[in-house]
Copies of this chain bind each other. A is one copy, B any other.
Amino acid sequence: MIEYQNILDSINQSVIKEQNKGTIASYIPELTNVDINDFGIHLQLVSGEQFSVGNSHQPFSIQSISKVLSLALAMSQVGTAIWERLDVEPSGNPFNHLSLLELEEGIPRNPFINSGAIVIADILVSNLKNPKADFLNYVRDITGDNSIDYNYKVAQSEKETGFNNYAAANLLKSFNNLHNDVEDVLDFYFHQCALEMTCQQLSKAFFLFANKGNCLANKARLTKSQAKRINAIMLTCGFYDEAGEFAFEVGLPGKSGVGGGIVALLPNQFVISVWSPGLNERGNSKLGMQALEQFTTLANQSIF
């Protein structure tokens, strides 16, 4: 019997003492309104038990973590046809590099680099009646929590400064791999990234990936095979150019966001969400990465 609460407490103790907490993302002003000392973990076992420590009930901007949720919805809507428009290989490059996209003629490397997530957004804009409302409902549904919402200020702020995403969307369009208007797709994409969730809500949202496609309310939202495949993409592509490092050090499928959140999971066992807003030089939560390394060491659990 693993003493999960003791493990979380011990991680919290160790992390509080850390002097260098990383750097808060500053590329949009709205993201800087957080306290560098904020830190929370929530652990949701597939068996139903929950454990938490710190600010696990404080909402933060989930940013790129949302790409896993939009991918899940796109796969459930369109099935394998999405793979005609993007690939599943790691990029080995920072998250905003357009070079590979150009070299590979408009086919994004995977759904978690920005250009890939924009293609997924394009697919959802084509297939949903009210894209923003429908996606929000999907997230609320799988989480079982209607209080989840977009932060509209953050979405607006990203729109005003998201020139790199505009560049990516236009480049995709020049290769005929964006079917809707650039503005419509990015409006959806910026809202998707501006979702605010707590650690607890994140753990619940990702429950279906640890539970063979069935969400917390035990309803099938993905096939078992789809859940497995999304886990594989998280493992190989979930951490920008630190994906190999995370697999090496932590050994769990997961996804990070520049808001400082990380969610990771062990199939059939648990989902764990960590939040600490300071980032390392590769754009992943510095203390979040440390916390997850400690967790898998102490709990002695990983897919490997």
A residues sitting closer than 8 Å to B (CB atoms) are 87-93, 97-100, 102-103, 109-110, 163-164, 166-168, 170-171, 173-174, 182, 227-229, 231-233, 235-237, 241-245, 247-248, 251, 253, 267, 302-304
> Shortest CB–CB separation between residue A206 and chain B, in angstroms?
13
- Complex interface: chain B residues within 8 A of A251 (CB): 228-229, 231-232
- Complex interface: chain B residues within 8 A of A182 (CB): 163, 166
Q: How far is the CA of A237 from the CA of B90 in the complex (A)?
A: 9
Cβ A253 vs Cβ B171 within 8 A: no
In this complex, what residue of B is CB-closest to A161? B174
- Complex interface: chain B residues within 8 A of A242 (CB): 89
> Shortest CB–CB separation between residue A157 and chain B, in angstroms?
15
Cβ A243 vs Cβ B90 within 8 A: yes
> Shortest CB–CB separation between residue A287 and chain B, in angstroms?
21
- Complex interface: chain B residues within 8 A of A243 (CB): 89-90, 236
> Shortest CB–CB separation between residue A238 and chain B, in angstroms?
11
- Complex interface: chain B residues within 8 A of A229 (CB): 248, 251, 304
